């Protein structure tokens, strides 16, 4: 169910992307995950999106009840347990062109989390 919700949200984001919509036609999920599986987030920063200036949109979905913090390492510092953008349990962070940098996430509390990432590409 979450996959279809994520795809629907990404489709909405692609409509509002600041690049020509006809150039953003591919969707890739969990590219940084082993065999495209969900990505484990623990006590050290984990790259969930590599930098890609062609990326039209991206969603980082916290597929767990545990809070995480994420940041654009290309333009900011890596996240820590107390810095970076909080993505609460079962919540998502949607991005247009601001999602083109390298994004990392770290758990915000004592328990690990799982994220699913989807990105729109030309």
CA within 13 Å, CB half, 43: 3
Sign of the C-alpha dihedral computed for residues 10, 54, 63 and 104 taken in this order: negative
- Give per-residue pLDDT as tens, 34-92: 899 999 999 999 999 999 999 999 999 999 999 999 999 999 999 999 999 999 999 99
On the question of pLDDT at 9 being above 80, the answer is no
pLDDT in the model for residue 111? 97
Domains (ranges, CATH) in the chain? 2-121 (2.60.120.770)
Q: Give the tokens for residue 78.
A: 């890596």
Whole-prediction pTM: 0.82
Judge contact between 31 and 109, C-beta under 8 A: no
**CB atoms < 10 A from the CB of 19, how many?**
16
């Amino acid at each position: 169910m979450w996959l279809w919700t994520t795809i629907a949200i990404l489709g909405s984001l692609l409509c509002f992307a600041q690049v020509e919509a006809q150039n953003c036609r591919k969707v890739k999920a969990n590219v940084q995950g082993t065999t495209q599986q969900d990505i484990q987030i623990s006590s050290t920063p984990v790259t969930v999106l590599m930098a890609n200036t062609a990326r039209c949109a991206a969603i980082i979905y916290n597929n767990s009840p545990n809070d995480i913090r994420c940041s654009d390492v290309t333009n900011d510092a890596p996240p820590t347990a107390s810095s970076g953008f909080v993505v609460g349990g079962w919540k998502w962070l949607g991005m247009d062109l601001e999602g083109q940098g390298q994004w990392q996430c770290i758990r915000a509390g004592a328990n690990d989390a799982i994220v699913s990432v989807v990105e729109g590409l030309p």
